[in-house]
Homo-oligomer: A and B are copies of this chain.
Amino acid sequence: MTQTLGRATGLTPQDRVTTWLADFEAALAAGDIDRAVAKFATDSLWRDLVAFTWNIKTVEGRDQIADMLGERLEGTEPSGFRIHEEATEDGGVVSAFIEFDTAVGRGIGHLRLKDDQAWTLLTALAELKGHEEPKGPSRVLGAVHGSDPDPRSWAEKRQAEDESLGYTTQPYALIVGGGQGGIALGARLRQLGVPAIVVDKHERPGDQWRKRYKSLCLHDPVWYDHLPYLPFPQNWPVFAPKDKIGDWLEFYTRVMEVPYWSKTTCLSASFDDNTKTWTVEVDRDGERVTLRPTQLILATGMSGKPSMPTLPGQDVFAGDQHHSSAHPGPDAYVGKQAVVIGSNNSAHDIAKALYENGVDVTMVQRSSTHIVKSDSLMELGLGDLYSERAVAAGMTTEKADLTFASLPYRILHEFQIPVYNAIRERDKDFYDRLAAAGFELDWGDDDSGLFMKYLRRGSGYYIDVGASDLVADGKIKLAHGQVDRLTEDSVVLADGTTLPADLVVYATGYGSMNGWAADLIGQDVADKVGKVWGLGSDTTKDPGPWEGEQRNMWKPTQQENLWFHGGNLHQSRHYSLYLALQIKARHVGIPTPVYGLAEVHHLS
C-alpha cells in the first residue's frame, strides 16, 4: 500500500503530497477514473468552486467523485497539479495548498491526506486563460505613452461610458442591489472587462448601512471583512461603525470605477427564452429605462425581505412600530417605554442603544438564542485565520479564504463543536449569569455554535458586544413567549403579560432571498428557483435533504441566467470571484457545462 510505504520510509509531508498529486494527475491524464477515485478515502469530500463543475459543488464519497469525473474530466482537461506552499502535518493529517491548470483556466486549491488518501480536496478556479485581470505586473498603464489616437482624457472616457451604458449599449450583466455584495461583484466584473451595471434604490453607495439603526457596528472583525483588491487600511477599526463602512463602500465603488446607478428601483424583469436575455424595467431617479442584460444577479441582501408579523391590535396601537430594518434608533424615545420583539443580533443591538439613551426597554424572547461574546469568537473562532495574530504569522486573506473554503460543509460542524465547547468553558460565569436572569440559551441543534447557525439558517444568535450584560443585570428587561396582540398602549403576550409600550420594534427577521425574485420577476420564477441559503442540514429552520452547498448562492439556478449573490463581507469578497468567473466565461463564449445543478426541495 502506498500509505504504508510512505509511512515506513519516513517521507515528508511534502513528498507525500507530491506523490499523491503525481499519481492523481497520471490517472486523470490516462482517463482512468477508477484509478483516480482510488486515491480518495471512502469518506472523502471534493469541493469544487467552478474549476471542474462550472458550479459550486461538493461531491461526497467515491461514487459521487466518480460520477463527477465521468461527466467532467474530458472537458476540464486538468493538469499541472503542484504544491503551492510547503505541506504540513498535524495529527496524522497532511495538508497543502495546491495549484493546477484546466483547459480554460488556472486553479488553486487545498488537499488533506489521511493515510496518503485524499480526505478533502478543494479545487477553485482562479482565473481564465487569456482573460486574466490586469493587476500587479499587468496593471494598466493609465497614461498613454506615445501619440494617443484617442485624445479624450480618462474622465471624458468615463463620462462617455456612463452616458451610453444602459442606453445606446447594453450591460451584459445587471446587478440588483449595491451593498457590499453588489459592488464587490461589480468591481470584479469591471476588472474582467464585463459590461455591467449595479442598480440600487438608495441615494448613495453605502446608504444600505448608513440608513440602519444608529448604533450598528460590524459584528465581524476587520480582517474578515476586506473587499477584493483594496484591503482596509491598518488604522481601520476592528468593528467598523455603520457610517464609516458606508463611506468606505462609496469610496470603493468610485475607486473601482463600478458603473452604479443610485436612486434606481427595479420595476419588473422577464426572461426571453429565445433571445436568452432579460428585459428589466427600472426607474432611475424618475426616468423610466429599459435594460436588456443577458445575466441578472440579485444582490439584494442575504436576508430577503423583512418579515413583519401580523398581529391583532397593530392598527390600534398608538405608538410607533418599526421592523428592525427600519428602526431609526433611540433619539425620539428618551424617557419612554419600548418593547423589542425578538432576541437575536438586531434585537440586542437595538435594545442596548435604547437602554443607553434612557429608554425603558423590554426584550421579548420567543425562542432560545445562541450567544457568543465577541472577543471569544474572535480569539477562538476566527483567530487562526482572521486576526492580527494571523497576519503576523503570514496568513494572507487569500490563504485564509482558501483554508476556510477547504472544509466541506458536511464536516464543518465537527470542527466547530470543539470551538464552542471551549467558549462555553471559558465564559461559564457569563452564561450562568445570563441563565440566572432567565435568558434561554442554546448552542445550535448539535452544539456547533454560531457559524453553523449562520450557514444553516442565518439567524438564532447574538454576537455579544455588551447587551448581554445589560440583560443579565436586568437593565434590559426580559419577557418570554409569543405576542398575542397589541392594545393602544401595550404589547400583550400569550401568557397574558402586558408590556406598556410607546414603541414596538419587530426584530423578527427576514424571509428567503427568493422573495425578491417573486416581487421582481414573478412567483413562478421564485418557486422555480426555490429557497435561497441554507445547507439542508435537517436542523431548525434548515430542512433537508442535504444540499452540500448553500442553496442557490453564487452558482447557476433553475432559472437560466438568474443568479443570487451576497452575504457578509467575507462571502461577498470570496464568492464574488467565482460568480464573476462564471459570468465572464459566458460573456466570452467559453463553454460552461454545469455539473450537478441543484434540485429544488423548498419554495421558501
Contacts and interface: CB of A to CB of B under 8 A. Distances in A.
A233 B228 CA distance: 9
Interface string A350-368: 0011011100000000000
Interface string A66-110: 000000000000000000000000000000000000000000000
Contacts of A144: 465-466
A191 B470 CA distance: 33
Nearest to A252: B251
A375 B329 CA distance: 56
Nearest to A156: B214
A352 B154 CA distance: 16
A222 B139 contact: yes
A247 B255 contact: yes
Interface in A318-365: 329-330, 352-353, 355-357
A153 interface: yes
Contact of A148 (B135, B136, B356): B356
A312 to B, nearest CB: 34
Interface in A237-261: 237-244, 247-248, 250-251, 254-256
Interface residues of A, number: 66
Given A214-B156, A356-B151, A388-B137, A145 B247 contact: no
Contacts of A492: none
B147 A374 contact: no
Contact of A357 (B146, B151, B256): B151
A332 to B, nearest CB: 14
Contacts of A137: 388, 392
A250 to B, nearest CB: 8
Interface string A255-276: 1100000000000000000000
B251 A145 contact: no
A139 B374 contact: no
Given A229-B233, A357-B151, A143 B217 contact: yes
A140 B237 contact: yes
Interface string A208-219: 001000110110
A141 interface: yes
Contacts of A588: none
Interface string A548-586: 000000000000000000000000000000000000000
A187 B127 CA distance: 36
A142 B219 CA distance: 10
B469 A153 contact: no
A235 interface: yes
A121 B355 CA distance: 59
A230 interface: yes
A134 interface: yes
A155 interface: yes
B139 A235 contact: yes
A454 interface: no
B145 A236 contact: no
A234 interface: yes
Nearest to A243: B155
A38 to B, nearest CB: 40
A217 B153 CA distance: 9
A133 interface: yes
A229 B235 contact: yes
Contact of A251 (B191, B237, B239, B251): B251
B239 A153 contact: no
Contacts of A148: 356, 466
Contact of A145 (B140, B191, B465): B465
A204 to B, nearest CB: 12
A229 B234 contact: yes
15 contacts: A133-B235, A136-B234, A140-B235, A142-B240, A143-B217, A143-B239, A145-B465, A146-B466, A147-B355, A147-B356, A151-B353, A153-B214, A154-B241, A154-B242, A155-B244
Given A147-B469, A151-B357, A247-B254, 8 more contacts: A140-B238, A141-B239, A143-B238, A144-B465, A146-B469, A147-B352, A233-B256, A248-B255
Those 7 A-B pairs whose CB atoms lie nearest each other, nearest first: A142-B237, A154-B241, A143-B217, A143-B239, A251-B251, A155-B243, A230-B233
Interface of A: 133-137, 139-148, 151, 153-156, 158, 191, 210, 214-215, 217-218, 222, 229-230, 233-244, 247-248, 250-251, 254-256, 329-330, 352-353, 355-357, 374-375, 388, 391-392, 465-466, 469-470, 475
